[in-house]
Chains A and B, each alone.
Chain A
Amino acid sequence: MSELDMSQYLGIFLDEAEEQLQQLDEAIVKLEQSPDDIELLNTIFRAAHTLKGSSASMGFNRLATLTHRMENVLDLLRQGKMAVNREIIDVLLASLDRLRLLKDGLAAGSGESGEIDDVVARLESVLAPQKAAGDAAEKGGGHNLTLDDIEENVIRAAQVKGFNPYEIQVRLEQGCQMKGARAYLVFNNLKDVGEIIKSIPHTQDLEAERFDDTFTLVLVSREDADTLANIVKSISEIQEVVVRPIRLAEDMEKTTRKAPAAGGGEGPISQAEGRGGENRITQTVRVDVQRLENLMNLVGELVIDRTRLAEVGNGLKARLGSEELLETLEEVSMHIGRITSDLQEEIMKARMFPIDQVFNRFPRMVRDLARKAGKEIDFIVEGRETELDRTVIEEIGDPLIHLLRNAIDHGIEDPAERLKAGKPRRGTVRLRAFHQENQIVITVEDDGAGMDPEKIKAKAVEKGLISREAAARLHPREALDLIFQPGFSTADKVTDVSGRGVGMDIVRAHLEKINGTIDIRTTPGKGTCFTIKLPLTLAINRSLLVQNGGQVYAFPLANVIEIISITPAEIQYVHRQQVVVVRGRVLPLVYLGHALGQARELPPGESYAVVIVGLAEKQIGFIVENLIGEQEIVIKSLGNFIGKIPGIAGATIMGDGSVALILDVRSLIDGLGVEANRELAS
């Protein structure tokens, strides 16, 4: 691969490598705790194997060599020829650290900086006692071909397409002079008739002539065994060729799949990962998100041009009357419109991933946390298949981890306490994801002690977050909102888990960054449920478009509760704050122009449109000059130069090519310093 080609793939490679390193990191730590988990070992092996493969194909020799050595160690563990011990874990983690160093070097453009010899030596020393035994077994000529899941999957996929898998054993003549070259010729000739998916020993060893006389290949081909044997035999200095069809025995499959379920109950997690791996090989292509973003932009342009095309058509029609050519133009422009919408939808879909990617890691985490906290917890996960945009997936992990920790640490009571309260010993934490209209809803629910608004108020007063008087005025549901204040923690004792300084304020900030909302429902003694609502995607948002001061603005529909119309006479004042009474409830009013720092005074009018927005328990009405309607908009950032503007979440391009601003309701309200209806409602 030339330099030029490689740079093209470097980004993808680095992404993948990062993913695999993370997977390895997690899995190896897990392995220390459950050393007999075969499926876990398989996962680790697969990740190392994939990393090795991609490093080698990118020409990153150090990465490839190191992962190869790791793979050797892992393979022995997997086959049960060696037991997991502290030393091995240490070496594996050390290797991992080194891999990361190499990878970071590549990312920084400084090449594979860092030596690997010392780590390789450590890995070798772990291998040494086993190697002699292993070699002996191989020399015995035993039929010991083992395939990992990935290879099996490749074979299955190939079978579907009419390829047959073969195991080809090649023995070179004794004293063959150029073993590496011979092996290369075998590879090369076989490549013309099929695909080699595995070689024992590995190709690097073959090239370096690190083998005796024999090597084994796994090949998928449409040719029959005799033809393949003849192809190999046509190369000189070949002593013997044995071609055997491979049958993926059902029982063999069962052992690999059943084992983990019996082993440690890690089944669902790891199997899901296995499935992901299979998909990647057979059906999916990895695409840079930036690419998709660019595609999306291009489609956006098409949409705009489509509109302009239609306008040109109309203009011509007005001037020239009805003509055949114009009708064609109309047809074409309609067709382009349809295609554009379809394109847009397809690209959006291409960015969707099942949320399982995030949920995957939770069962283990919950178990560990529960054990640490001395609690007994059933963890139920629902809606793993719910799909959402990749950008959202990336952001949702941390908030969920925190909510789960909270549920385990503060929500669920000790077993003894639960029994005393007449509840079952084991608590339940339920994580659920589902679609609701244009949103994803994720709930984290526990049947624990629930939260007491009075206690929360007391805590907030104690921490100086709110005055005693203000606390007394708070509605119980507003009191719950206090836990989102920076510096608040309901923990009476600082535990290992909660004492890390990540508070609910961070959770909310995280969620708002991706246009999400979070709500709490709680019943003291019965449990707590956090409900997160997220847009399906960060890129597209359903919005309410309004017009104000000659400009178009978009309210994210997630924030809009209702739209009402009021007359100037209905506007009243409380503490110099404009309010209106809606169905008996006092609602603060703000003129949008004022909120945006433009005009302070309302333009004269007989009636005003009011957009009522809600943030948790706060509600506020924005007076706008004109309502335009609902529309799906593509969210774009204002860029680095302008940066973050309070009240503005971004911009979008309208059908006519003009730019409209998207409002950030929370910061808009915060900027006003309006106490919303907290004070007024009481």
Chain B
Amino acid sequence: MANGTAAEVQLVVFQLAGETYGVDINYVQEIIRMQNITPIPRTPAFIEGVINLRGRIIPVIDLHKRFHLPQGEVTNNTRIMVVEMGRVTVGMIVDSVSEVLRLPVASIEPPPSMISGIDVAYLKGVGKWNERLIILLDLERVLQESEQRQLEQGMAAGVDGQ
């Protein structure tokens, strides 16, 4: 196990619209319960708003909306997964967080051309683990793009829409 870092990835596994996703645990800062989110005007729909994370203001995005997946209900299991990448810290709303597991890199395949509507660009690959498929998110893509393009679009929509 000790030198297994190169050969396997450690994932935080979560559920989103009935599918199983995973992100590299290195990016996951913490997982908190759902809380009151303050909406921000003139932001893209997938930006739910901001929360107070022990004195820090953290934006929260809804991954359902981000990936255009069917909207789920907020339940007792709903969690905000706080991920940190570079200068960006973001909370992601997921249906539930199930476990942390290690996945051999060898078992990860490149993303198939289409997975239930979610844009392939956001995927790193698909891992197989005990007969289960785990969709690996490319967090960098998820966060970077939303920072630029989506926000501009959202702003444009916010101004002339509604």
Interface residues of chain A, those whose CB is within 8 Å of chain B, are 297-298, 300-301, 304, 551, 596-598, 600, 636-643, 645-648, 650-651, 653, 657-661, 671
A666 CB to nearest B CB, Å: 15
| Residue B146 at the chain A interface, CB threshold 8 Å | yes
Give bound CA distance, A408 to B54, whole Å: 50
Tell me if B25 counts as interface (CB < 8 A to partner A): no
Nearest first, the 3 closest Cβ-Cβ pairs linking A and B are A297-B55, A596-B41, A659-B38
B110 within 8 A of A: no
**Dominant secondary structure of chain A at its interface with chain B:** mixed
What residues of B have a CB within 8 angstroms of the CB of A648 in the complex? 40-42
- Other-chain contact of A639, B55, B88, B146 (Cβ < 8 Å): B88
* Contact residue among A596, A643, A658 (Cβ-Cβ distance under 8 Å from B38): A658
Query: Contacts A597-B162, A598-B162 given: A640-B147 contact, CB under 8 Å?
Result: yes
Whole-angstrom distance between the Cβ of A268 and the nearest chain B Cβ: 42
Looking at the assembled complex, report how far the CB atom of B30 sits from the nearest CB atom of chain A, in whole angstroms: 15
Nearest CB of chain A from residue B83's CB, rounded to whole Å: 11
| A597-B159, A653-B57 known; A643-B42 Cβ under 8 A | no
Contact B55 A298 (CB under 8 A): yes
Known: A641-B143, A642-B50. A658 touches B36 (CB 8 A): yes
B162 touches A645 (CB 8 A): no
* Contact across chains for A639 and B59 when beta carbons are under 8 A apart: yes
Compute how far the CA of A304 lies from the CA of B40 in the bound complex, rounded to whole angstroms. 22
A661 touches B40 (CB 8 A): yes
Residue of B nearest to A299 (CB): B55
For B47, B56, B57, B59, the residue with the greatest tally of chain A CB atoms inside 10 Å of its CB is B57
Residues of B within 8 A of A (CB): 36, 38-43, 47, 49-52, 54-59, 87-90, 143, 146-147, 151, 155, 158-159, 161-162
Residue of A298, A551, A640, A660 with highest tally of chain B CB at under 10 A: A640
Judging by beta carbons under 8 Å apart, are B162 and A600 in contact?
yes
Residue of B nearest to A645 (CB): B42
For B151, list chain A residues within 8 Å (CB).
Answer: 642-643
Contact call A642/B43, Cβ cutoff below 8 A: yes
Contact between B88 and A641, CB atoms less than 8 A apart:
yes
What residues on A are CB-neighbors of B36 within 8 Å? 658
Q: How far is the CA of A577 from the CA of B69 in the complex (A)?
A: 41
Expressed in whole angstroms, the minimum distance between the Cβ of B25 and any Cβ of chain A is 21
A596-B155 Cα distance, complex, nearest whole Å: 11
Known: A645-B41, A647-B41; 9 extra A-B contacts, CB below 8 A, are A301-B54, A598-B41, A641-B90, A641-B143, A646-B42, A650-B57, A653-B55, A658-B36, A661-B40
CB pair A642–B40 under 8 Å, yes or no, is yes
Contacts of A645 in B (CB 8 A): 40-43, 155
B58 pairs with A300, CB closer than 8 A:
no
* Complex: chain A residue closest to B47, CB-CB: A642
Contacts of A643 in B (CB 8 A): 147, 151
Complex: chain A residue closest to B160, CB-CB? A597
11 contacts between A and B (CB under 8 A): A297-B55, A596-B41, A597-B161, A636-B56, A640-B147, A641-B89, A642-B40, A643-B147, A645-B42, A647-B41, A658-B52
Residue from A637, A659, A661 with most neighbouring chain B CB atoms (10 Å)? A659
Cβ contacts under 8 Å, B143 to chain A: 641
Most buried by A among B38, B51, B90, B159: B38
A657 to B37, CA, bound (A): 11
State in angstroms the CA–CA spacing of A597 and B54 once bound together. 29
In the complex formed, the residue of B with least CB distance to A653 is B52
The distance in angstroms between the C-alpha atoms of A647 and B147, with both chains bound, is 18
Residue of B nearest to A658 (CB): B36
